[in-house]
Homo-oligomer: A and B are copies of this chain.
């Protein structure tokens, strides 16, 4: 099977890291195709950024739909492209935030997410609410460091900032499990787990395993109600590729 890991921002270094983690996580026989759009913001830290990244992201997805068995939107947000893609394909589609939260619920009663900027906190609170996981979420905590600092910044300082928030989540918020709340944190899970002595989840790895599971069970996105295929309509001044997904 082949999984499309679609990084919706335009930082190839993030895409590479995602590809690397994904490849470490796959079962025998799973191929990883990691891509990012060629238009859009370098990082995603707001709804505005999400919307600017959406057209490019959908374009990459449309070009690769036939070549993959499932799609992961590899951004730790409730990226709207997840919902749009579920509408236009029956192949499983999953974001890494939902993936890690769902897996977290299987190894503890309450999880916390440790993310980067403060801006992420309300965005992820809304994501938790949308997934219907409010009761299982202990807290969303931010290190206060911007996403891009994760690749350019001081590695030890980054780790310590994440560690600090994870420890506070366990001690003060009654968390039992920690989700790493940014694709850029991928790879730090085992190191952190050793220090805090509680499970730490990497969204990319979780999404790979869940998508493998869905594909292996022969499951596809339901076309009843929510993710029904959009009905045909005229598109004005948009690339013709966007016309294809509509119901004929």
Contacts and interface: CB of A to CB of B under 8 A. Distances in A.
Interface of A: 10, 25, 27-29, 38-43, 45-52, 54-56, 58, 80-81, 83-84, 87-88, 92, 94, 98, 102-103, 105-110, 117-119, 121-123, 126, 129-136, 146, 148, 170, 174-177, 190, 197-199, 201-202, 205-206, 209-210, 212-214, 216-228, 230-231, 233-238, 242, 245
B52 A238 contact: yes
A230 to B, nearest CB: 4
B234 A222 contact: no
A210 to B, nearest CB: 6
Contact of A176 (B117, B126, B177, B222): B222
Give the 7 A-B CB pairs with smallest separation, nearest first.
A209-B213, A108-B222, A132-B135, A46-B230, A39-B237, A122-B226, A176-B222
Contact of A58 (B51, B106, B217): B51
Contacts of A206: 213, 217
A193 B135 CA distance: 31
B122 A126 contact: no
A28 B28 CA distance: 7
Nearest to A56: B237
A167 B205 CA distance: 35
A217 B222 contact: no
Given A210-B213, A233-B43, A130 B130 contact: yes
B132 A38 contact: no
B25 A27 contact: no
A52 B198 contact: no
Contacts of A10: 236
B106 A102 contact: yes
A38 B205 contact: no
Given A109-B226, A132-B133, A176-B224, A52 B55 contact: yes
19 contacts: A25-B216, A28-B28, A39-B237, A45-B233, A47-B84, A48-B58, A50-B84, A92-B106, A103-B210, A106-B219, A109-B227, A110-B225, A119-B225, A123-B226, A132-B136, A174-B225, A176-B224, A199-B219, A202-B217
A189 to B, nearest CB: 8
